[in-house]
Amino acid sequence: MKYIQFKDTNLQASEIALGCMRISGLSEKAVDRLIGTALEEGINFFDHADIYGQGMSEEVFGRAVAKTPGLREKIIIQTKCGIRQGYYDFSKEHILNAVEGSLKRLKTDYINILLLHRPDTLMEPEEVAEAFTKLQESGKVRHFGVSNQKPLQIELLSKYVKQRIIINQLQLSITDTGMIDSGLNVNMKNSASLDHDDSILEYCRLKDITIQPWSPFQFGFFEGVYLDNPKFPELNKKLNEIAREKGVRNSAVAIAWLLRHPARMQPIVGTTNPQRLIDICKASDVELTRKEWYELYRSAGNRLP
């Protein structure tokens, strides 16, 4: 497993992170095994949110980590807050209360990274700044980031908060490449040239903000997995072809495609199957050529101008 360092931090994070959204439905034994497998494969970064499993994902994870003395200091825990039932809430009060809840469920006295979960159009950045400062000064949160935010949303937030935004968690996979398409189809009038995200990919690279692709095996908005899916025959043909050449599974090739990008992304993989996780982690040792990267891009139905 290779590791990355977030800008202006001392965090050495595995370039592949384990997303814990689905672990709330697992048995205690299964959670222990999944975490153990992740650690054996070199994963030290675990992604949570207060809404995952209505808090149960954080709770079962916290119980599992507490069983091993000293483990907490060896791992990086990231969680998110801001989504409530039917609305978003970036108020100071909610952020502070949400963190207290996460700390209790995770059985820890600090969170390595806190993300604001999706944009809140009613955000008052002064309140967010007060919350961030209080959390940092108390030692309860060490670093901060966002998810699904565009450049000017991050700029607005950054005008008020004194903490650096180190992460932006965004949907990205071989089949959901909007932020890449618009950067390739410049000065064009086709649909791929539409920039829905204000050049978020280039912005994050300019600002040294690490992009964390979520749902890297999904197509659409949770419509399904594209791997071995008959809806994507050309893509799977190419994935399997490269997988055979590299001696890995197609899932590793799909993650290697993200890792190949010079933006130095950190994919969040959400499998709860230990063997699948082992297969996926082999992506850290797979090096795709520029030709292979573009072949996969085009096999997903994308056209180069």
Is 52 assigned a catalytic role?
A: yes
Residue 101 to residue 279: CA distance in whole angstroms: 34
Instruction: Confirm if 176 and 219 have CB atoms less than 8 A apart.
Output: yes
Length of the chain counted residue by residue? 305
Q: Which is catalytic among the residues 3, 52, 203, 297?
A: 52
Helices (H) and strands (E) in the chain, counts: 11, 14
Closest CA to 150 of 218, 99, 209, 98: 209
Residue 236 to residue 300: CA distance in whole angstroms: 9
**Alpha-carbon radius of gyration of the chain:** 19
Bridge partners (DSSP) listed for residue 14: 3
Active site residues: 52
